[in-house]
Amino acid sequence: MSLTVRGALLWSFAERYTSLGVTIVSTMLLARLLTPAQVGIFSLCAAVTAVAGILRDFGVSEYLIQEKELDRSKLRAAFGVAILIGWGIGASVFLSRGFVADYFKEPGVGQVLAVLSLNFLILPFASPAFALLSREMAFRKIFVVQTVSNTVQSAAAVGLAYAGHGYMSLAWAPVISILVQTLMLSYMRPRDSLMLPSLRGTRQVLSYGSMFVSSRVIETLTRNAHEFIIGKQFGFTAVGLFSRAFGLIELFYSNFTAAVLRVTTPAFANDHRGGNDLPARYAIGTSMLTVIAWPFFGYVALMSGEIILVLFGSQWLAAAPIASALALSVMPNYLTAMGPSLLAATGHVKRRLLITMAYAPIHLLAILSASQWGLNAMAAAFGISSLVALAIYAHQLPRVLGCRVGQLFGASSKSALVALPCIGAQALVRELCQAYRLNGFISLVLVGVAAVLVWFVVARLAGHPAYREIARFAQTRWQRKPA
């Protein structure tokens, strides 16, 4: 990795893990202040606004990141598109809140959507500045903005829930956070980015954005479809339980995968502009992801009951088998996690859309069919669609990059060599903990320590690139210490 990418990743990880500490504390508190049904109401609304959020950005951020010759007129056009689309989507969410509430027979859904619609009025003033900071790889500034806004959101959610506002505390918290974020970006935004919006020259923005947003909408609908199926078929308590299990899996995505993907999109775009070896970049990046992701999800699959009991309390234990099934199901996804970013960064948004359109119906059919057998079966169905997505990307990415499949995924074979002994060690230590009847927290610590120790030993023996990066970082930090 280049020094620029290493630095960007360090700041991106610093932001994610600082926020993770805040999020874990707030989640533990909220799990005890809110009921599964209250969380379920907000989760359903969050799924609705997640789709609307993709439409709101309309690919403006990715357009600004990948554009080879970015000038002031293109910036003004992108800002104009962001405001036009964002405000229109916000108005649509607000006006449709009654229909959605009536459909699910829950008035609280309408109240939450009314508050969440405010986000769409504020976000267009923040997203272009965020995109420019990402394009410039200015992740130190992003660290400051995101850490402050995430802390504000967590504090607001806990404070409002403690005051007795129930699910509305989860609705108001992100609005307060985005307002703080926008105010900070107005001060820290890149030079020459403060300008009036314009609708002149928007054709290029709309052309890229229409392809990008179509694929993102389908991806988001596909990713959140289970919320609507469960809400209609099993009720809001079931939505809350599945959401809690899915949220446990999402912790890794939000605090590791997203930190990497935030850097890979501008990094791939820079490599594409510079004519660098994209297949090699993809291969090494994927091996870095999988060597961390696979042992982690093995840990979650084995220890889901203990994790949920310690973090959220006994009222959420029914979510444990769902979390285990989901953890195993998402493992194949990490071979293709960077695929969408690569296609967006190189301008292949149409191909990304076609891939999404091929994958989405299979996923929807799988989870809809599995819903006949319950929540655990729905979680397991994610594994079917993960394998289908892997097969599609394994066929399409080599065609885009002009390389062989082995050049993209071969490096991840070392990740499997590291992950298998790690998961085996975790299973052995877990059996010993159960034999000696150790409590949940001690079991989590012992199994986690065993996984880390085995990971370092096997990663070193296998010569995995991730171990070399960690060793290089540790050596650099040691050399910088004063004598």
Q: How far is it, in rounded angstroms, from Cα 225 to Cα 138?
A: 35
Across the chain, mean pLDDT equals: 83
Selection from 108-117, 250-259, 388-397 with the highest mean pLDDT: 388-397
Residue-wise pLDDT for 133-190, tens only, equals: 777 777 778 788 888 888 898 899 999 988 888 888 888 998 898 888 888 877 776 6
Taking the domains of the chain in order of start, what are their residue ranges?
A: 1-218
Asked if 197 and 2 count as a contact pair (C-beta separation under 8 A), the reply is no
d(C-alpha 286, C-alpha 274), whole Å: 21
Closest CA to 230 of 243, 239, 221: 239
Q: Which residue type, as a one-letter code, is found at position 85?
A: I
Q: What backbone torsions phi and psi does residue 464 show, to the nearest 5 degrees?
A: -70, 140
Give 94 or 220, the one with higher predicted confidence. Answer: 94
Q: Average pLDDT in the 250-266 region? A: 78
What values do phi and psi take at 386, rounded to 5?
A: -65, -40
DSSP state of 195: -
Yes or no: say if 66 and 346 are a contact pair by the CB < 8 Å rule.
Answer: yes
Average pLDDT estimate for 297-319: 90
Could you tell me the end-to-end alpha-carbon distance of the chain, in angstroms, rounded to an integer? Answer: 28
Residue 177: closest CA among 126, 108, 240, 113:
126
Is residue 430's pLDDT more than 90? yes
CA distance 58 to 41: 27
Give residue 483's pLDDT. 46
Express each pLDDT in 193-249 by its tens digit.
566 666 776 777 777 777 777 777 777 777 778 877 888 788 878 888 898 888 888
CA distance 424 to 450: 10
Share above pLDDT 90 across residues of the chain, in percent, rounded to a whole number: 26
How far does Cα 324 stand from its chain's mean position?
19
Distances in whole angstroms, Cα of residue 208 to Cα of each of 30, 65, 73, 203: 40, 12, 16, 9
C-beta of residue 158 within 8 angstroms of C-beta of residue 29: yes
Higher pLDDT, 52 or 373: 373
The pLDDT value given to residue 427: 96
Which pTM was predicted?
0.71
Secondary structure letter of residue 256 according to DSSP: I
Closest of 295, 306, 119, 83 to residue 198, by C-alpha: 83
- Check residue 195 and give its pLDDT: 65
Provide the token pair at 290: 């999988």
**Rg (alpha carbons) of the chain, rounded to whole number:** 22
Which pLDDT value is given to residue 306?
Answer: 93
Residue 319 CB contacts under 8 Å (≥ 6 apart), including other chains: 241, 242, 244, 245, 248, 304, 308, 312
3-state secondary structure of 35: coil
Segment 439-447 shows an average pLDDT of: 93
Phi-psi region of 188 (alpha: psi -120 to 50; beta: other; left: phi over 0): alpha
User: 10 Å Cβ neighbour count for 3?
Assistant: 7
Flag whether pLDDT at 366 surpasses 60.
Answer: yes
- As a whole number of angstroms, the distance between CA 111 and CA 418 comes to 48
- Specify the pLDDT at position 208: 73
Question: What's the token pair of residue 452?
Answer: 């880390």
Q: Does residue 289 have a pLDDT over 50?
A: yes
Residue 458 to residue 75: CA distance in whole angstroms: 48
For residues 319 and 308, the answer to whether their CB atoms sit within 8 Å is: yes
Give me the mean pLDDT over the 276-285 stretch. Answer: 87
DSSP helix/strand/coil, 126? coil
Fill in the amino acid letter for 417: L
- Using an 8 Å Cβ cutoff, are 296 and 455 in contact? no
pLDDT score of 433? 93
Smallest CA-to-CA distance from 347 within 216, 211, 220, 218 is with 211
Residue 86, pLDDT score: 81
If one compares 56 and 403, the residue with the highest pLDDT of the two is 403
Average pLDDT over residues 71-95: 81
CA dist 16 and 328 (Å) reads 23
362 has a pLDDT exceeding 80? yes
The Cα–Cα gap between 206 and 208 comes to: 6
Q: 447 — alpha (psi -120 to 50), left (phi > 0) or beta? A: alpha
Lookup result for tokens 């990740």: 415
Per-residue confidence band for 381, with pLDDT thresholds at 50, 70 and 90:
very high
Q: What is the pLDDT of residue 89?
A: 84
Q: Which of 51, 45, 38 is nearest to 114 (CA)?
A: 45
Assign 299 a pLDDT band (cuts: 50, 70, 90).
Answer: very high
Return the structure tokens found at 349. Answer: 């948004």
Quote the CA–CA distance of 382 and 354 in Å, as a whole number: 20
Among 41-55, 88-102, 194-208, 380-394, the minimum mean pLDDT is found in 194-208
